Every structure is written in C-alpha cells, then in structure tokens.
A and B are shown apart, each in its own frame.
Chain A
Amino acid sequence: MSKFDYSDLVNAKDALQTRSIFWDPAIYQEELKQIFNRCWLFLAHESQIPEPGDFIRTYMGEDDVIVVRGQDKKVRAFLNACMHRGNKVCQAEWGQTKAFTCSYHGWSYDTSGRLAAVPLEKDIYDNLDRSRFGLAPVARVENYKGLIFGTFAKEGPSLAEYLGDVSWYLDVLLEASPGGLELIGTPYRVEVPGNWKLPVENAIGDGYHVTWAHAGAMRVVGTLATGRSEQVLGIGAENSGVDLSGAIEINVPPHTVLSSLDGRSGYALYDHPEKVLEYVEQNRPDVIKRLGELRGRSLYGSETHIGIFPNLQVIQGLNFLRIIHPRGPGAFEVWTFAMVDKNMPAAVKEVIEKNVRATFGPAGLLEGDDGDFTEAITHSASGYATRQLKGWLGMGQGRRVPWDGPGEASPGLVNELCQRSFYEQWQRTMSAASVLDILPPKAATATELAAEPVREVVNG
C-alpha cells in the first residue's frame, strides 16, 4: 500500500495537482526514496572527466556523489562519505586526483573507490580487512553517447530502456556533430526557495508564462523590439494572440519534448545569432544525412526542450543543460551548464556561452523572474486551507496533432501536455511498489499514440 493517495494528489483525468505535493515534508521524504533513489539520474558529461583521475561532485537527490574516471578509464560513482565515520572524502567540486582522503582521520580511497590507506593501520588494527570499507558505489552507472547517468537501483530498467524513445530526440543534440556534445565553462549554481518539481515542469513545458512572466526581458532580448522572441512561441506582440500551428509538445513517457520545429528559432533570443545560425546551416546537410529529413530539418536548430524525468532538462537553442537538485521540500538548487558541439568553432561556442550567461545565468535577464512564483506556490501551502487547493494543467488536453516522430503530440508551445505528463510520471513512480514498475507499461504507451502510423525509431 502506498503511504499517500496518489490518485487524489495527482488527478490525471482532470489534470489537477494537490498543492501539498509541493510542501509536505513527508511526501518529500517519499520522493527521495521512490524517485531519487530509483530513477536514472544525470551525473556528468564525459567531456567533464576525460582523463583518469578526473572527478566531479554532484547530487543524486540530496545524496552527495563523486563521479570519477578511474585509472582503468572506467567511470564510477560513489557516495561522498568516508566508510569509517561518514565525513565527506571530497570537498572540491571538480579536479584531478589519485585519491580521495578524508579530512577527519585520513582514510584514503583510490579512484576506483577502494580503501587504499589507513593511517597507523598496522599499529591500531589487527588484520583490518580494507576490502570491507570501499566507498559505497552508486549501483549502476551507464553512458548514453556521452551523457553519464547513475541509479541507486540494483535492478530495474537499463539506461537505454529508461530513456526509451526520448533518445530519438536526444540524438539530435548528441549526434548533430561527429564530435558530440560538450559542457563548457563553470556551471552556474543558484538556490531558490521553492519545490524542485516547479522549475522542472516550468522549463520542460510552460510556454504560456514566457511572454507574461518574462515580459520585461522579452522587450529587450532577441535584438531589441524585433518581436522575434515572441514569434518562437507563436505569440503575437503584447500577447495579442497565439498561433498554435507548427510547434508541438510531445509526450514520450516517462519523458517529454517540446519543439518549435522550424529548424532555426532556437537562437531567436540571442542578440547576435548570426554565427550560430551560419554554423547550423553549414551542418544541416550532414545532420540530414545522419539523422534523416525529419530530425535534420524540423528538430535541428529549433528551440527544443527535452525533459528527462525527474530532474534533467536538455535545452537546444538556448543551449544549456540544467539539473534541478532538491534541497528539502521548500528549496532547490539549479545547475546550469552551457552546452555546445565539441567541434564548433571557438567563436560560435563563445556566442552560446555568452547567451546562456545573459539569459539564464544567475544574473540572466530571464532567470530571475521565476523565483517569486515557485516560492509562492510552494510556501503559501504552509496554510492548511491553501494546501487543500489544486493546481490545474488542463490546457490542450485531448488535442492531438499528427507527428511522424515517436510519442504523442499536441499542438503549440502554449500547451500543458509536457507538464501533465511530468505529474503523471511522478504519480507512477511514487506509487510503484517495485522499481520494475516505474516505467509506463509499453502497451499503454502505444494506445496513447496518435492514429498516425508509428515511424521507425532509431535508437543508436
């Protein structure tokens, strides 16, 4: 039996979410166990740790984790906790090392997690069995074309199974260029007082808020007053109307995709998009050859937001990769990485890095606008009456549009399909007794597909 009535907390049929799911500390503790301790979570991109001894620290839920390339070049991940008393064995956020040494008593672990040295060992212990005290490993670590994920679940879907059809979309980023993807610069880290689910579904699905919540920024970005930034969403100047044709939101459970599908508007928010657009057009014939017409023409170069459940967003166009780490029910930490093709000319990478900084860095023109409402939605629910209320995501419900790629598509970027899908997956994962049941059943996915014939799915 589930601890909570998930069919009431998230009512999929009526697209309602009870406000307590953003506030209740008990639900949050259950999320750490049911979601963050079982799902595949993004750890790192291999460009960040190319050489033996390279490591980064990250979080899986609230668990502090070290991701390290061993001397054997294999990538492993461990809880950042000394097996003697539990102090962290690494305080640096990234670097290159031969060992992780605890600052408490000096126990030292090699890059494959083995306990390699214990101060005064021979004098104080009788035949200490060091093999019993290796760092606690993340159960499985797998790599999808450079994206390294880990899960604490020993059993359950493989990474390829977990990603499922969303990999068809991810490949547009991962295979657009023969060198693949690269995350560059120093990641931005910002802590905001709100529940982690809100920034996730905002980034993967909420086209509706963009021209209103970010109205001030929209007036000044995307080459001043040309209106290009509004056109991306199909929204007319000053919210005068919306054209839902062209762009789509796609449900590829347990994940989501939205895309402008025009092959170029991903760069519309840039003040100086010329170099990037030139690069995109130069590459396009190659991308078409490699990934086919649909992906090469419609997805490549578009503003495309890929949401990997639970907390990873891969955003083409604005070109950043973002992780939302939970910090208790009432706070989250956003990590934002500029994302480029490894083979891009340095000048193009620079344009992208600058744009990420200017739009969604800690001082980004758009970034700061969302903090107030994530805080209010979360913390106003401390009021008993308020947390009985339900949020509603009914926009576009039941609207379908034919789409030749995998998944079920609904028209327009001003639509709440992706957000609904996120909460349905939340409900499914929270109520799944076994890790074997965290994915939607295959049959159910198939019946949700549009009546169009399903095209060939290329999963590399």
Chain B
Amino acid sequence: MGNPALRAVPREEVPLDVAYRVERFLSLEARVLDEERYADWLALLTEDVSYRMPIPRNTKRKNRPGTTSLGGDGLIYDETLPTLRQRALREDTGLVWLNDPPTHHVRLITNVETFVGDAPSTYDVRSKFMLFRARRDRDRVSHVGWREDILRETSAGLRIAARTVYLPERVITDKNLNTFF
C-alpha cells in the first residue's frame, strides 16, 4: 500500500449559497487559528469530531503487504475533542517556550469543493491548504497539503465533524507539528 487512499469524490454539488457559506466558514476557521484563539476554534468542532493525519509512505505502488509488522494505520494525528482540547490547553499554559516569542501562522485555504455528504445535513468538503509558520530570527516553514472535511449543519451553524489532513511529506522538516491544520 502506498499513500493512504482518498475517499471517492462525491458527485452531487451543493447549492451556491451553501458553497459560499462553507468557504466563508473555512476562512473564518483559518483566521481564528492564525489569531491563536484556540477556545473559539474548539467551539467550531462537533463533540464527536475526528481529526486525523495519515503518514504518506514511500513504498512501491504494487507492494505486497506480506506479514511485516510495519504499516497499519500510520497516523501523526488521531484526535478526538478531548485530545484536541489537551493540545489547545498546552498552548495556553504560557509554558511552551518555543512559542514565546510567538510562532506566527498564516493559513491559506483554497480549491474548496463542497459536495452533499453521505449523512443528512452534512457536506463533504475538499480543500487545499498552505500553512506558513515563521518564528525566531529566520525559521520559515511552509506545509502544503489537502484536507477532507465533513461539515455538519447544527443549530449554531456549520461545525467540523471530521477532518483528515493529507500532508505529503514523508520526512517532516519542521521542529514540531504542534499546530492545527
């Protein structure tokens, strides 16, 4: 098995107003994160949110799996609301020295495609991102990838019910990935 398989892209597009709301929502979310407003960000997630980042693998396209202990569900993030809250709490302790002086984040979200989701009142949203991080005198890191989100309509508005982040970097060349994509 090579890269984790993408789910098939659904066919049914949403009405224009929904597509517009979804794009606005993703831009808002990116800004909230850039502004380090983690409590506000957590409020944009559903209670049952799933947040995952699989690891891309450099194995042959036709690799035979065999009985090696390697492989399986290689994940960098495999989070639920409590563990995302734990990560946010860590950032807010004031004791994370590597973010003081702060790490500056800029999130660009683009190529947003919104489809009707499998479950009622959900949308299957595909997007591309660039996450730029700048810190200290000249630390500059850009991470580019794509995301598959399930957004759910709730009484409070759109909420993220699931996110899978695809970061196509086998070797992470960043001192940490303690951030939200």
Contact = CB atoms under 8 A, between A and B. Distances in A.
Interface string B147-169: 00000000000000000000000
B93 interface: yes
A91 B178 CA distance: 29
Interface in B26-65: 53, 55, 57-60, 63-65
A249 interface: no
Interface in A32-68: 45, 47-51, 53-54, 56
Interface stretch (B17-25, B94-102, B120-128): B94-102
A16 interface: no
Interface stretch (A158-166, A181-189, A439-447): A181-189
Contact of A95 (B53, B64, B93): B64
Contact of A51 (B66, B87, B96, B175): B66
A171 interface: no
Contacts of A185: 70-74
A372 B97 contact: yes
A191 interface: yes
A333 interface: yes
B68 A94 contact: yes
Contacts of B108: none
Nearest to B67: A50
Given A357-B76, A361-B76, A362-B76, A216 B95 contact: yes
A363 B178 contact: yes
A92 interface: yes
B171 interface: yes
Main secondary structure of the interface of B (DSSP, over half): loop
Contact of B171 (A92, A186, A189, A219): A189
A186 B175 contact: no
Given A94-B68, A96-B63, A363-B53, A190 B87 contact: no
B86 interface: yes
A224 B85 CA distance: 11
A215 B89 CA distance: 12
Nearest to A190: B172
A345 to B, nearest CB: 16
Interface in A370-404: 371-372, 375
Contacts of B95: 215-216, 219
B172 A220 contact: no
Give the residue among B69, B73, B77, B93 with the most A Cβ atoms within 10 A: B69
Interface residues of A, number: 51
B176 A188 contact: no
A357 B66 CA distance: 24
A184 B170 CA distance: 17
B158 to A, nearest CB: 25
Nearest to B56: A186
Contacts of A142: none
B111 interface: no
Contact of B176 (A45, A224, A362): A362
A191 B171 contact: yes
B90 interface: yes
Contacts of A92: 58-60, 63
A95 B60 contact: yes
B83 to A, nearest CB: 7
Nearest to A186: B74
Nearest to A183: B69
A21 interface: no
Contact of A375 (B77, B83, B86, B175): B175
A371 B71 CA distance: 27
B177 interface: yes
Contacts of B176: 362-363, 367-369, 371
Contacts of A367: 176
A192 B141 CA distance: 12
A48 B69 contact: yes
B97 A369 contact: yes
Contacts of A49: 68
A371 B98 contact: yes
A365 B97 contact: no
A130 interface: no
B64 A96 contact: yes
Contacts of A361: 76
A10 B157 CA distance: 63
A271 B69 CA distance: 25
Contacts of B86: 220-221, 224, 271, 365
Nearest to B74: A186
Nearest to B73: A185
Contacts of A51: 66-68
Contacts of A432: none
Contacts of A216: 90-91, 93-97
A456 to B, nearest CB: 33
B173 to A, nearest CB: 5
B26 to A, nearest CB: 21
Top 10 closest A-B pairs, CB basis? A368-B176, A186-B74, A371-B175, A215-B95, A363-B177, A216-B96, A216-B95, A47-B69, A95-B63, A216-B93
Given A190-B173, A221-B86, 4 more contacts: A49-B68, A96-B65, A216-B95, A220-B93
24 contacts: A45-B69, A51-B67, A92-B60, A93-B57, A93-B59, A96-B65, A183-B70, A185-B71, A189-B170, A190-B173, A190-B174, A191-B173, A215-B93, A216-B96, A220-B89, A224-B86, A354-B78, A357-B75, A362-B177, A363-B176, A365-B90, A369-B96, A371-B175, A375-B175
